[in-house]
């Protein structure tokens, strides 16, 4: 029994398949390659594999991660080439690493995500200054629907925004915004990038035009480890037992 994490991109038309579709795609792709996964016990066995952090439908990603267990030990390069040989265009494996067989999944350890987001404002405004004002606020309150009750509750998203910076390509443009965002992500605290974008638009007195937005996840990070501060890419993080 061995455990691995693979790093892959999801791009092009594959942006439009959901988290569950992607799970099914990997399940079938593994089956086609003949790489045997460990299955759960019980009436409805399913393979032991999990994505580190779900990606919203419509987003592209440069670096996604899947954590899985196989019945036999395999060479990482072989895993990459066998999966890539059986995967349709739009999803490609770029890295693979063996993990120690701890109980802790990487999904439980992710803390931050970096996104690039571009969208169109409904009218041109000096948005760079607005952005500074927006981020200078102590609190940024947004309304969030509670999953269970469906009630609207106010939530302060300011603590989940670590960094927002305009990208070079939108430098001299008052209508098209391109930003890089560093936000909290994971099972503990998670900020959907579009919640931030739409909060910024309403701060500017505009409405957020989701259909113009193109969002790409650049990377997922865990917090510091072994006395190291800052962000550690999921690819470099080694989960340990407590």
Residues that bind another protein (CB under 8 A): 12-14, 16-18, 20-21, 24-25, 27-32, 39, 43, 57-58, 86, 88-90, 210-214
Q: In the bound complex, what is the minimum distance in angstroms from residue 111's beta carbon to another protein?
A: 28
Name which of 135 and 209 has its Cβ closer to another protein: 209
Q: Hunting for tokens 């890089």 — which residue is that?
A: 180
CB-nearer residue toward another protein: 14 or 110: 14
| Least Cβ distance, residue 64 to another protein (angstroms) | 16
The CA distance from 123 to 143, in Å, is 24
Q: Residues 6 or more apart from 129 whose CB is under 8 A from it?
A: none
Q: How far is the CB of 40 from another protein (least distance, A)?
A: 13
Looking at the Cβ atoms of 62 and 98, the one nearer to another protein is: 62
- The answer to whether the beta carbons of residues 74 and 98 sit under 8 Å apart is no
Nearer to another protein, 152 or 210 (CB): 210
* CA 6-181-122 angle, 5° bins: 125
Report CA 15 to chain centroid distance, whole Å: 12
Nearest distance from C-beta of residue 216 to another protein, angstroms? 13
Give, to the nearest 10 degrees, the angle between helix 193-203 and helix 127-136: 110
Instruction: Provide the minimum distance between the beta carbon of 114 and another protein in the complex, in angstroms, as a whole number.
Output: 21
Distance CA 107, CA 94 (A): 19
């Amino acid at each position: 029994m061995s455990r691995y994490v693979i790093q892959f991109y999801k791009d092009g038309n594959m942006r439009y398949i959901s988290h569950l579709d992607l799970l099914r795609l990997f399940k079938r792709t593994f089956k086609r390659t003949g790489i045997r996964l460990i299955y759960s016990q019980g009436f409805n066995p399913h393979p032991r594999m999990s994505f580190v952090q779900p990606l919203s439908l419509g987003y592209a990603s440069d670096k996604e991660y899947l954590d899985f267990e196989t019945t036999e030990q395999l060479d990482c390069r072989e895993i990459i080439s066998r999966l890539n040989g059986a995967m349709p265009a739009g999803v490609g494996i770029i890295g693979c690493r063996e993990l120690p067989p701890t109980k802790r999944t990487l999904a439980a350890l992710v803390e931050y995500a970096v996104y690039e987001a571009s969208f169109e404002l409904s009218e041109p405004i000096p948005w760079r200054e607005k952005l500074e004002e927006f981020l200078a606020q102590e609190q940024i309150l947004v309304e969030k629907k509670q999953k269970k009750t469906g009630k609207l509750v106010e939530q302060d998203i300011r603590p989940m925004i670590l960094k927002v910076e305009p990208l070079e390509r939108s430098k001299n443009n008052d209508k098209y915004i391109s930003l890089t965002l560093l936000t909290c992500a994971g099972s503990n605290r998670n900020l959907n990038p579009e919640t931030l974008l739409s909060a910024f638009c309403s701060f500017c007195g505009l409405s957020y035009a989701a259909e113009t937005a193109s969002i790409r996840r650049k990377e997922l990070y865990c917090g510091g480890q072994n006395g190291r501060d800052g962000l550690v890419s999921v690819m470099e993080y080694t989960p340990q037992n407590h």
